[in-house]
Every structure is written in structure tokens, then in C-alpha cells.
Structure 1
Amino acid sequence: MGDENYFYTDEAHDVLISLSEVVHQMERVAQGDKHCWKWVVIAMASAINGALTCHLSGNIQVGALTKIDARATIDALQDHNHDELPKKPKLANPRELFVRARREDKRLEPAGCILTLSSVQKRAFDKLFELRNSFSHFEPRGWGIEVSGMPSIMLNLLNIIEQIYDDCWAFRHLSDNDYEDFNRLLGALNKQLTK
């Protein structure tokens, strides 16, 4: 099997890919397709979850894992027993990542700065994942979603990603070209969401 059968990514590049999808779906929304808000929500949830993962992952890469998997990883590394490393470590849920990003006493390892977020940004985060969960775990029902407040919600979430980006920890391994892409995407989204 050749490389044409695979694509390669990591958590930092996935944030870029997710933000690119948010831009693409916002263009479709601007053209009048309100159903594309679903894909904006899903892509933004992916972007912010990835950004939090990068922001919380320190030198031993356990800051975004579940507490059980982080502890097991640390114990295995301290004991020099790589056979005891978790086989499939799990990421903590988005809510837990959000709490850890804001509270030093909840951190599992040193990493990015403690985020300072407004109550509006916290509500935007909660709304995003409420919507994402509804879209991802679809029940056989119909419902209406008010979209008039969506640009404001997305802008508040984008501001969280920008705070993570500006801290220079989460995306420290990206190339100069990736940083250019990141800046272009952040600029495009700011423009789209403040029209």
C-alpha cells in the first residue's frame, strides 16, 4: 500500500483543517444555506477541542488525557516500564478539557497559560457542545434551531482559539507556512463572523 491510501495529521494540524472547514461552511451559510450551520458547529467543536488538547499537552503529553490514562502513563514512564503504557489512551471529554484550561489546580502537567474567559465565552462553549451532541447523536425528531445568535457564539469560540494561539504553546511545532495558514484562517473567520 502506498501513501496515496493514507492521510497524515496530528492534533495541531487537525485544528487548522477544522478551522478551514469552518471557513468553507461559513461561505456556504453566507450564500444562504442555513443547513450548513450544522457543519460549522461540528467543525468548530473539532477545532476548539483540538486547540484545548494542544494547549494542555505538556512535555509528557498527558495533560489532555483522562485522569486514569494520564496517571497510568506517568507511572509507566517513571517505572521505565513501557509495556504498562495505556494501549489506547483516551482524551478527556471537552468539558473537562475546558475546566483544565481555566484552572491551574485541575492541570495534570505544565503546559500553556491559564485561559481567562468571560461568562459569555463559557456559555458559547456549552452551547457549541450541546448543539454538536445533538447533531452527532441525532434522534429521530425534527427541531428548529435559531441561527441569529450563531455568529456571536462562533466569534466567542474563535476568541478562545485565538487566546490559545497567542500563548505560543499549543502550536509551537507548526511550520512558518502553517502559521501563515493559521493567521489567514483566523482573519477570514473574524471577517465572516463580524459582518
Structure 2
Amino acid sequence: MEDSVKALELTGLFLKKAKTDVYYWKWVLVSLHNSIQGFMVCALRGKDGLNVLKDRVAERLIEAKQNNAPLPKPELDTFLNLYRKIQTDKMLMNPKSKKFIPGKHHDKSIRRLNRLRNHFIHFTPKSWSMEASTLPLMSVYCLQVIRFLAFSSGNISCNNQELRSRIGRTLHEIELALQKMQVETTS
């Protein structure tokens, strides 16, 4: 959980720099992607951790345990598959659990974030350009996924009040900064 929160805090720090240097949007998106992935893993992992693995790996792991065979190497599922899983019954682990129900802009924003992050991380030498004015709104929708997972999914129990406060405060600060950026680009 700490790693996911640190990535969220880095998103806020990079966003401050992105106000004056568009280059930092790369790092806003990379850290935001990392934070969302971390929160999805925390919300999906459950007691056995199988929900966060690629389905075929989870199946082989169950079979290996049943047959006392060597365990396969665990492989974390892809970002977009984890996003799909938070919308399924895999999220329903306790009576308070809820699955994520996306609004019409969440899916598009998450897919775009994943695509942009992958371009940055797995880049081949090329020049890149993007319409930075569209990134604040996309980021707001992505942050809504984190807010749901952290505070509404019922799957992330954070008994550490200081950590909960950091998550809430950081989300609020980033959302305010993004809203201000949206206003500045439309005026």
C-alpha cells in the first residue's frame, strides 16, 4: 500500500512541475499509472493473492498446490486486465465489497493512460507530442478510480489513519491542481 501512496504523491509533485514544463507530464502519467495499478492490486489481492495474477497462472498455481507439484512463477496480470477485474465479482470478497462501475469516460481514460505510459516506458527513439491540454481531464477520471478503490470498494482496509489521511489529502490536492489546469486551458 505504501508504494501505491508514494506513487500517488509523486504524481502530485510531478504535476506541480508540469505546470511550467510540459516534459513532466511524462512522469505524471507514469506515476499515476503505477499508483492506480498498486491500488487495483491492493483491492483485488484477497487472502490468497490469486485475483491479481494472470488467469492461466492462477489456475496452474491452484493445480500445483492440489497436486503437490512445483509452483509456477507468479505473474501479475496486465494493467488493463486488472482494471477489468475490479469491475467483476472478483471484487466481492466480503459483505462490504463493491465492484467498480465505470462512468462513460473512465474506460477511455484508463486505456489512454495505459497507452501513453507504455509509449513512455517502452519507447523506441522517436519524437512524441501530445495535446497536454487534454491530460488534466483524463487524469481526473483516473484519480476517481483510485478514490473508489481506496475509500469505497470495501477491499482496502487501512487501519493506519495517517496513511488514509495522506491518500485523501493527496487525491484532493491533485484534483484541485488538475481542475485549475483545466480552467486555465479553456480560458
What's the TM-score once normalised by structure 2's chain length?
A: 0.87
Mapped partners of 2:103, 2:37: distance in 1: 18
Question: Partner residue of 2:135?
Answer: 150
Q: Which amino acid aligns with 1:59?
A: K
Query: Are 1:33 and 2:21 an aligned pair?
Result: yes
Mapped partners of 2:173, 2:18: distance in 1: 14
For the aligned residue pairs, the C-alpha RMSD in angstroms reads: 2.0
2:8–2:170 Cα contact (<8 Å) kept: yes
SS at match of 1:118: coil
Q: Which amino acid aligns with 2:134?
A: G
Deviations along 1:114-169, one digit per CA (max 9) or x if unpaired, are 10101211100011011001101111111211100111000000011111112254
Query: Are 1:65 and 2:53 an aligned pair?
Result: yes
Segments of structure 1 that go 5 or more residues without pairing to the other structure are 1-11
- Larger mean CA deviation between 62-71 and 150-159 belongs to 62-71
Q: Which amino acid aligns with 1:141?
A: K
Question: Partner residue of 1:47?
Answer: 35
Q: How many residues align?
A: 178
1:70–1:108 Cα contact (<8 Å) kept: no
Q: Which amino acid aligns with 2:10?
A: E
> Against the structure 1 CA distance between its residues 128 and 174, is the aligned structure 2 distance closer, same or farther, given a 3 Å change threshold?
farther
Question: Partner residue of 1:135?
Answer: 120
Q: Pick the aligned partner of 1:21 from 4, 7, 10.
A: 10
Question: Partner residue of 2:86?
Answer: 101
Question: Partner residue of 1:176?
Answer: 161
Identity rate, percent: 24
Question: Partner residue of 1:194?
Answer: 179
Segments of structure 2 that go 5 or more residues without pairing to the other structure are 181-187
> Against the structure 1 CA distance between its residues 110 and 92, is the aligned structure 2 distance closer, same or farther, given a 3 Å change threshold?
same
